Chain A
Amino acid sequence: MQRKRIPLSKMTLKRLLSEFPTHLWSDQEIEEIISPQYGLITGFEAMLTDVDKLIAIDLNDIAPGDQSSLGRE
């Protein structure tokens, strides 16, 4: 059964920052994650909605690719 996720809040992110070993991010940087203004990438909430769909895909035993099979050193 798929769980129902509540929308991400700034408070959640700030709490994670205080309790996890992370870099230091300002209020402005966290605000941009919640309400993106720059128009460069998907906002985090929209990304998480996609992630919900992606992790529902059963990838069987496919290993993560590093594309080394394509010849990169």
Chain B
Amino acid sequence: MTPHPLTSMPLLELAALLEKRDVSSLEVTEAFLRQIKKKNGTFNAYITVADQKARLAARAADDQIRNGHYRSKLHGIPYACKDLFLTKDIRTTAGSKVLSEWVPDEDAEVVERLNGAGGVLLGKLNQHEFAYGATGINSLFGIVPNPWDATRLAGGSSSGSAAAVAAGLAAYAIGTDTGGSTRAPAALCGIVGLKPTYGLISTKGVIPYCWSLDHVGLFGQTVADTAAVCWALSRDVGTERGRPETMLHREQQLSSTNLGKLRIGLPRSFFFERVDPEILMAVQQVIRACEGSKADLKGVSLPPMDCSRTVSLLVQLPEMLSYHSRYLPQKKELYGADLLSGMAQGQFILAEHYVHAKRMMQLFKKQLNEIFNQVDLLITPTCPIVAPAIDSRIVAWEDEEEPVGNAITRFTSFFNLTGHPAISIPCGLHSTGLPMGVQIVGRHFEENTLLGAAYSLERSVGSLKRTAAEDVGNDANRQDPDTDARYPERSRPAA
């Protein structure tokens, strides 16, 4: 049996070792820092590595655990966050020259909560500049190649977050999702990506892209890992609103969710059109797994989706421009050309059209809530394509050409308009060797049902072996110094 390095273990397995003190947080942190040193030149996943601060945090976590103050599953676990999150005394660039030397004096609420739970922040992750764009291409800090194939994109805008988890450079990662910027790169990189209900996780201290649609996103190797982070970050908004049943933070619910008791909606149109045939087959396999578990499958008619991407852009572009009006007069020349053209487009959107789009959001939300009176969950592909080549601009379908950014987020952006929670989990490997993802969507604040179903399906369909990802740009992996016979290879189902 090949020993498995610490950096490939899912968060919860690391947590078990830390809790039993079989390994120290400092050992785990040093292992990740070595991997980052070795691989970041290939992946460009990190913009800033906070190695000294990480070591300090790890030592503090070890002291606390040694003294009997083990706080949570995240205690002593190394993580990283998108460079859109404010971090006290750590440079926060938003992937842009505009903020290239900015060092905030406070943490984003998410970072504060994770550090408060004993998390060890390894550093700040690459992204599309100011979270604009689903390709994740960044002219200042470099393109983030896909860990499964370095000639392909990791996807964005949270490109570094997805690549870091897929390549074993962080145990879990935090990103954002305004139109699919967590779920899409997670699908393209073969990991789990969760966009919780709008408002469930605080965006305080996150540099805004579009206030109306911005969500914090979570990346993990497994559904259980992602759920642990979600529970640590969730605000008790359900309780505050008199709905105590909606967020029962109980791990047991994950494994006790019975798919056979759930009604699962399959959209009759849009989500299964213009999709790579192999992705369709993989999603159908997931649907068959639901069927095999005696879930009640129903065809559902969702609101007309054809213009949903435009509704999203009508909101995104003016809000983005409005935020950046603080920098444009003095720093316009520091922005990337693609972002500037998006802001320029926002300049010409009429106020009536922006308001109409905001009203459409309300209509979509109402219509989708009505669908959720008939079903508990929806299943769709996450992306209609696998990771595109790095220089892709257009996806050619039989009947039309589609900008690659639109294609990547075609099935995800609608759920930012409605605020419903949605998760992408891997559902197999394409014949190109690239991962494919399936998206599951749930009711507002019913993350536990969503995560429970995703956990169950992950066990049916199987998470992906990360071997392929780890081989990219890493010949030394075979003699990895982190390899330790104490930690045997975990048994993962084949894709």
Contact = CB atoms under 8 A, between A and B. Distances in A.
Most A C-beta atoms less than 10 A away, residue of B204, B337, B359 = B359
Given A63-B359, A65-B359, A70 B341 contact: no
Contacts, number: 149
A39 B393 contact: yes
Contact of A66 (B212, B306, B325): B212
Interface residues of A, number: 39
A71 B241 contact: yes
A12 to B, nearest CB: 9
A67 B364 CA distance: 12
A6 interface: no
A45 B255 CA distance: 49
A64 B319 CA distance: 14
A65 B355 CA distance: 9
B199 A72 contact: yes
Given A33-B345, A39-B404, A57-B360, A51 B313 contact: no
A67 B357 contact: no
A71 B340 CA distance: 32
B333 to A, nearest CB: 10
Given A54-B356, A67-B198, A70-B197, A42 B406 contact: yes
Contact of B307 (A23, A36, A53, A65): A53
Contact of B359 (A22, A50, A62): A62
A8 to B, nearest CB: 8
A40 B360 contact: no
A50 B393 contact: no
Given A38-B338, A51-B353, A23 B328 contact: yes
B353 A55 contact: yes
Interface string B350-379: 001101111111110110000000000000
Nearest to A37: B393
Interface string A6-33: 0000000100100000111110111011
Nearest to B343: A23
A16 B403 contact: no
Contact of A67 (B199, B314, B348, B445): B199
A69 to B, nearest CB: 9
Nearest to A28: B337
A54 B362 contact: no
B123 to A, nearest CB: 26
Nearest to B329: A23
B445 to A, nearest CB: 8
Contact of B403 (A39, A51, A54, A55): A39
A70 B419 contact: yes
Given A47-B310, A50-B310, A72-B199, A41 B403 contact: yes
Most A C-beta atoms less than 10 A away, residue of B135, B237, B314, B403 = B403
List the 7 shortest-distance A-B pairs measured between CB atoms, nearest first.
A39-B393, A64-B358, A71-B237, A72-B199, A32-B341, A71-B199, A50-B310
Given A29-B344, A66-B358, 20 more contacts: A29-B340, A32-B337, A36-B341, A36-B403, A38-B133, A38-B393, A39-B394, A40-B134, A41-B342, A42-B309, A44-B345, A47-B313, A54-B307, A54-B357, A55-B356, A64-B355, A67-B199, A67-B361, A73-B202, A73-B204
